[in-house]
C-alpha cells in the first residue's frame, strides 16, 4: 500500500488494525522481552502515523494504552493519555479501564478508584462491571473486605451484575473476616441475575452451534 503507484494508501484505520494486532500479540506472549518488542513496534507505527499526517482516534489510543499498561509501561501510557486530552481526542470507558486494571494489579487500589471517579466526573463514561471487578478483587486480596463489600453494593445499585466468581469471592471473604453480610435483597437480586444470564447462554448455544456448522 505504501509503494509508489498503489491504488490506495494506508489510512488511520490501517494503522489502527496493525497497532491493535501488535499490542494483542505482545500481551499474549509469555516472554516479557518479546512483549516489549511487540509494544515497541506498535509505538513505532503510531509515530509513523504522525509523520504521515494521520490522526489517531480513540480506538488507536486505547489499543496502545492498554498494551502499555499490560506490559507495565504506565508512564508512557500516561503520556499518551495527556496527549489525547491536548489534541481533543475524548477518552472513553475503555481508556480509563486500562489504568484501573493496571493499578489494581500492582495493588495501588486508591489510584484505581481515583481513575474511576475521574472518568465519571469528567463525563467520559460510567463505571460498569469491567471497572468495578478489578477494584473489588484487589481489595479482597489486600484484606480490605469492608471496602470490597461497599463497592459490590454500589455496583449492583448502579445496575451492573457482578460475575459469579467476583460475587463468591466477596461472600467468602466477608464470611472469613466476620464482616457484616451483604443485604439479603441484594443477594437475591444477584442470584437471580446470575441464573438468568446462565439461562441466556444456554439458549444461545444451539444458535452458535448451527452457525459454526
Please give the pLDDT value at position 209. Answer: 54
CA 93/CA 82 separation, integer angstroms: 16
Cell 494503522 -> residue: 15
54-67 average pLDDT score: 95
Give the C-alpha distances (Å, rounded to integers) separating 79 from 51, 64, 82, 134, 162.
18, 11, 5, 23, 32
User: Helices 145-157 & 164-177, crossing angle to 10 degrees?
Assistant: 140
List, for residues 102-118, the tens digit of each pLDDT value: 999 999 999 999 999 99
Mean pLDDT (the chain, rounded):
91
Please state, for a pLDDT cut of 90, what percent of the chain lies above it: 78
Please give the pLDDT value at position 213. Answer: 52
Please give the pLDDT value at position 25. Answer: 84
Please give the pLDDT value at position 206. Answer: 62
Which of 50-59, 133-142, 201-210 is predicted with the least confidence, judged by mean pLDDT? 201-210
Given a cut of 60, whether residue 180 has pLDDT beyond it is yes
Q: Could you tell me if 27 and 65 are in contact, meaning their C-beta atoms sit under 8 angstroms apart? A: no
CA 9/CA 118 separation, integer angstroms: 39
Please give the pLDDT value at position 87. Answer: 93
pTM above 0.95, yes or no: no
Please give the pLDDT value at position 13. Answer: 93
CA 113/CA 75 separation, integer angstroms: 18
List, for residues 4-58, the tens digit of each pLDDT value: 887 888 899 999 999 999 998 877 776 778 888 899 999 999 999 989 999 999 9
Please give the pLDDT value at position 205. Answer: 67
Which of 30-34, 160-164, 186-190 is predicted with the least confidence, judged by mean pLDDT? 30-34
The CA angle 86-18-33, to the nearest 5 degrees, is 90
Given a cut of 70, whether residue 77 has pLDDT beyond it is yes
Amino acid at each position: 500500500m505504501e509503494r509508489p503507484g498503489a491504488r490506495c494508501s494506508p489510512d488511520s484505520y490501517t494503522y489502527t488494525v496493525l497497532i491493535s494486532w501488535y499490542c494483542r500479540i505482545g500481551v499474549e506472549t509469555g516472554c516479557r522481552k518479546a512483549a516489549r518488542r511487540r509494544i515497541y513496534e506498535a509505538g513505532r507505527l503510531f509515530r509513523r502515523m504522525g509523520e504521515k499526517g494521520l490522526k489517531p482516534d480513540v480506538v488507536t489510543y486505547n489499543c496502545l494504552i492498554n498494551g502499555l499498561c499490560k506490559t507495565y509501561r504506565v508512564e508512557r501510557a500516561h503520556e499518551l493519555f495527556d496527549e489525547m486530552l491536548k489534541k481533543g481526542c475524548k477518552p472513553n470507558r475503555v481508556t480509563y479501564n486500562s489504568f484501573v486494571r493496571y493499578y489494581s494489579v500492582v495493588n495501588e487500589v486508591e489510584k484505581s478508584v481515583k481513575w474511576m471517579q475521574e472518568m465519571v466526573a469528567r463525563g467520559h463514561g460510567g463505571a460498569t462491571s469491567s471497572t468495578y471487578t478489578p477494584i473489588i478483587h484487589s481489595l479482597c486480596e489486600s484484606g480490605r473486605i469492608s471496602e470490597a463489600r461497599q463497592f459490590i453494593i454500589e455496583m449492583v445499585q448502579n445496575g451492573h451484575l457482578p460475575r459469579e466468581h467476583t460475587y463468591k469471592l466477596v461472600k467468602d471473604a466477608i464470611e472469613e473476616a466476620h464482616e457484616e453480610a451483604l443485604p439479603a435483597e441484594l443477594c437475591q437480586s444477584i442470584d437471580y441475575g446470575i441464573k438468568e444470564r446462565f439461562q441466556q447462554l444456554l439458549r444461545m448455544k444451539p444458535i452458535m452451534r448451527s452457525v459454526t456448522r
